[in-house]
């Protein structure tokens, strides 16, 4: 299957408990349309408010939002030849059986860094209808995985900011800011509420040369000269903003991946799963990072401790040390761009 040959794709996106599912799907939609301008996308989901919020109400003409419940109607819309189903959302088999013609379903799993993903990524089977082919797709930074989204618009705007001074680029992005705010160090902070409570004292105590930009719609924090609340940003705006910061403290895989692409040091506030499954993901991340560090264990210790505890003391260490990791993250960013483009990997897997 060649994406140039199909007029539309259906996205099936069920939003359960966070922004990440919607954010990933919309970022992929934007990136695909950038590469295939004539492509239309029907976006079936169950959270129209979040869909509109991510696009700031500016819904482009090539994307059409439809409720997932439409698939359960007596006369549902005909499915496209290609369907992207996100994050193990149950395939609507009854719906598919109503339309006896060939369809390809790309079933996206959650981001993984475990080597075992190679036994799942790219595996294919045919549903009992005999018409519908399912391909498992696992986003990952590992060579055997599906890569990460490298949004062309973010890349263009990042390149543009590199051609001007950092101060000018920051003022262009946020508008004129008085004082020396744009001349200070910037660290973006998008973490879970319980983590923010722990690390806020460290942010408030660092009053000399750093501005902390708190993201994620936090309403209970009072702004100070060095602790600012950033308004909600669309996907592409947030990606550009990360590149303007000197370091990024992030939550969720989408923010982590874009933070890595920014080339700036990153701390990851990994989601703490009740069954403890996140501990294995922590070690997978550490194992992936270790070869880049060439024996420098400072970052390994800071990253592991932060992902496990999210404590104030660890953030204070990161603030003191993050500039030492700058070259490492620049190298990682360069290699990821060359080897881990999700859209290119998706094209190849569809052509098989």
Task: Quick: pLDDT tens for 110-125.
Answer: 999 998 898 999 999 9
Indicate the Cα dihedral angle 63, 67, 68, 72, nearest 10°: -120
Radius of gyration of the chain (CA): 21
Give the CATH number of domain 3-146: 3.40.50
Q: Which one-letter DSSP state was computed for residue 152?
A: H
Fold match, 3-146 / 152-338:
yes
The rounded percent of the chain whose pLDDT value lies above 90 is 69
Mean pLDDT of 156-166: 91
Do the beta carbons of residue 64 and residue 33 sit within 8 Å? no
Average pLDDT over residues 237-243: 95
pTM of this structure: 0.93
pLDDT digits (tens, 9 = 90+) for 272-282: 888 888 899 99
- Backbone angles phi and psi of 44, in degrees to 5: -85, 120
Given a contact cutoff of 8 angstroms between Cβ atoms, the answer to whether 245 and 262 are in contact is yes
Among 244, 246, 193, 203, smallest CA distance to 223 is for: 203
In the CATH hierarchy, which top-level class contains the domain 152-338? alpha beta
Q: Element (H or E) spanning 103, and its range?
A: strand 103-108
Q: Domain coordinates of the chain in residue numbers? A: 3-146, 152-338
Q: Any idea how long the chain is?
A: 352
For residue 18, what pLDDT band results from cuts at 50, 70 and 90?
Answer: low
Category of 93 on φ-ψ map: left (φ > 0), alpha (ψ -120 to 50) or beta: alpha
Residue found by looking up tokens 């806020």 in the block: 200
Q: What is the pLDDT of residues 65-94, one digit of tens each?
A: 999 999 999 999 999 999 999 987 888 888
Is the pLDDT at 315 greater than 90? The verdict is yes
Per-residue confidence (pLDDT) for residue 222, from 0 to 100 = 79
């Amino acid at each position: 299957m060649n994406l140039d040959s199909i007029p539309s794709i259906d996205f099936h996106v069920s939003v359960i408990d966070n922004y990440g599912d919607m954010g990933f799907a919309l970022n992929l939609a934007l990136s695909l349309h950038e590469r295939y301008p004539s492509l239309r996308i029907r976006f079936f989901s169950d959270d129209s408010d979040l869909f509109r919020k991510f696009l700031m109400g500016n819904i482009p003409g090539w994307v059409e939002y439809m409720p997932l419940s439409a698939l359960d109607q007596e006369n549902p819309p005909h499915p496209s030849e290609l369907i992207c189903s996100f994050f193990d959302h149950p395939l609507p088999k009854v719906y598919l059986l109503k339309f006896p013609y060939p369809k390809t379903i790309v079933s996206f799993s959650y981001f993984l860094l475990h080597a075992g993903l190679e036994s799942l990524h790219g595996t294919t089977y045919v549903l009992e209808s005999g018409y519908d082919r399912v391909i498992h797709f696992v986003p990952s930074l590992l060579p055997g995985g599906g890569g990460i989204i490298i949004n062309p618009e973010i890349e263009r705007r990042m390149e543009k900011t590199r051609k001007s001074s950092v101060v000018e680029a920051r003022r262009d992005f946020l508008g004129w800011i008085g004082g020396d705010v744009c001349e200070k160090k910037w660290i973006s902070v998008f973490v879970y509420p319980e983590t923010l409570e722990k690390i806020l004292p460290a942010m408030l105590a660092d009053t000399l040369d750093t501005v902390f930009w708190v993201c994620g719609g936090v309403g209970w924090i009072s702004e100070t000269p060095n602790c600012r609340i950033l308004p909600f940003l669309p996907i592409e705006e947030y990606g550009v903003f990360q590149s303007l910061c000197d370091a990024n403290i992030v939550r969720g895989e989408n923010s982590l991946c874009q933070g890595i692409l920014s080339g700036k040091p990153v701390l990851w506030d990994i989601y703490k799963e009740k069954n403890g499954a996140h501990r294995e993901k922590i070690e997978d991340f550490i194992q992936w990072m270790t070869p880049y560090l060439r024996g420098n264990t400072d970052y390994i210790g800071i990253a592991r401790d932060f992902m496990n505890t999210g404590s104030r003391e660890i953030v204070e260490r990161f603030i003191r040390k993050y500039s030492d990791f700058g070259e490492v993250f620049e190298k990682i960013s360069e290699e990821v761009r060359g080897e881990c483009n999700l859209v290119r990997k998706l094209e190849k897997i569809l052509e098989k």
